[in-house]
């Protein structure tokens, strides 16, 4: 029977009701960042293909929820698209950087604007600039789309653009896919999303003339970027199967899959 990665929350709940943190010998459970869906899905599928009888599950709840899940022992590995805070580390959590991902600033393909610098992006998101005509676009209102407060993508974007607690969002959405859909359907919208998750339905702007691609993320010239992190509990030993997945995901053996998922391996 074809092996699949279980995305449904109900399936995760059913599984964890029978096991503690996915710690039965043949299960690995992960929970967290929606931006990591493509890379963690590829790694999980590859791991199951190489290990007969193993079930790998991924619950796309957002970085903050994934961190909370591993803290409470509801999953083996948390997934975060931001670095852990000092308070989270003090609470017994450990981070291992899996990869680096750019955060693309996206607009509707009909928008004639192609490039913005970080200062201008910040001015747009804080409401200082409210019309596309102010930055070389059409005479139309700028509609600000972003992520919910628990999002690692939002945390990374606001930290880099120095807009924490100052963004004037029209919509705050719960997943990367929702942001992409909202921007694709509104010619006046602007949003941000993981480079690894981009679709042809939106246009990624260059930032100060630099394209959000693997080479520029790796060399640091594309400045709006953040880590993809595997989160574990320092005082809890992973099950044999979960440890085997962790070792595989962070090894050079996994690099080709990580690159194909659109992000830059940390190894």
Q: In whole angstroms, what is the distance from residue 197 CA to residue 179 CA?
A: 11
pLDDT in the model for residue 150: 86
Does residue 4 fall inside a structural domain?
A: no
Q: Are residues 76 and 40 in the same domain?
A: yes
Q: Are residues 238 and 217 in the same domain?
A: no
Number of domains in the chain: 2
Does residue 94 fall inside a structural domain?
A: yes
Please report, for the domain that includes residue 210, its CATH number. 3.40.190.10
- Using pLDDT thresholds of 50, 70 and 90, give the confidence band for residue 25: low
Q: Are residues 113 and 221 in the same domain?
A: yes
Residues 157-180 have a mean pLDDT of 96
99-146: per-residue pLDDT in tens?
999 999 999 999 999 999 999 999 999 999 999 999 999 999 999 999
- Using pLDDT thresholds of 50, 70 and 90, give the confidence band for residue 267: confident
Residues 148-169 have a mean pLDDT of 95
Does residue 125 fall inside a structural domain?
A: yes
Domain holding 130, by residue range, is 101-225
Residues 19-39 have a mean pLDDT of 79
Q: What is the dihedral of CA 161, 167, 169, 172, to 10 degrees?
A: 70
189-204: per-residue pLDDT in tens?
999 999 989 999 999 9
Q: Are residues 89 and 201 in the same domain?
A: no
* Residue 222 scores a pLDDT above 60: yes
State the average pLDDT for the chain. 91
Q: Are residues 208 and 120 in the same domain?
A: yes
Q: Are residues 106 and 75 in the same domain?
A: no
**C-alpha distances in angstroms, 183 versus 173, 224, 226?**
11, 19, 22
* Residue 7 scores a pLDDT above 70: no
């Amino acid at each position: 029977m074809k092996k699949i990665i279980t995305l449904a929350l109900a399936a995760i709940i059913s599984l964890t009701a029978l096991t503690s943190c996915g710690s039965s010998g043949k299960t690995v459970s992960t929970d967290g960042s929606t931006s990591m869906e493509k890379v963690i899905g590829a790694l999980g599928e590859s791991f199951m293909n190489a290990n007969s009888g193993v079930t790998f599950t991924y619950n796309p709840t957002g970085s903050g929820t994934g961190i909370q899940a591993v803290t409470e022992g509801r999953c083996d590995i948390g997934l975060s698209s931001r670095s852990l805070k000092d308070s989270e580390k003090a609470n017994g959590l450990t981070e291992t950087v899996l990869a680096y991902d750019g955060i693309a600033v996206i607009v509707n393909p009909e928008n004639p604007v192609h490039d913005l610098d970080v200062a201008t992006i910040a001015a747009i998101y804080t409401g200082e600039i409210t019309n596309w005509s102010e930055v070389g676009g059409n005479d139309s209102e700028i509609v600000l789309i972003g992520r919910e407060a628990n999002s690692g993508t939002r945390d990374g974007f606001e930290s880099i653009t120095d807009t924490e607690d100052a963004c004037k969002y029209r919509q705050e959405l719960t997943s990367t896919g929702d942001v992409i859909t909202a921007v694709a359907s509104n010619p006046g919208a602007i949003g941000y999303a993981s480079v690894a998750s981009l679709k042809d339905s939106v246009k990624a702007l260059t930032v100060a003339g630099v394209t959000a691609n693997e080479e520029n993320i790796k060399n640091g010239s594309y400045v709006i970027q953040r880590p993809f992190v595997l989160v574990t509990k320092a005082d809890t030993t992973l099950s044999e199967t979960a440890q085997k997945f962790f070792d595989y995901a962070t090894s050079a053996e996994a690099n080709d899959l990580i690159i194909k998922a659109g992000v830059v391996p940390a190894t």
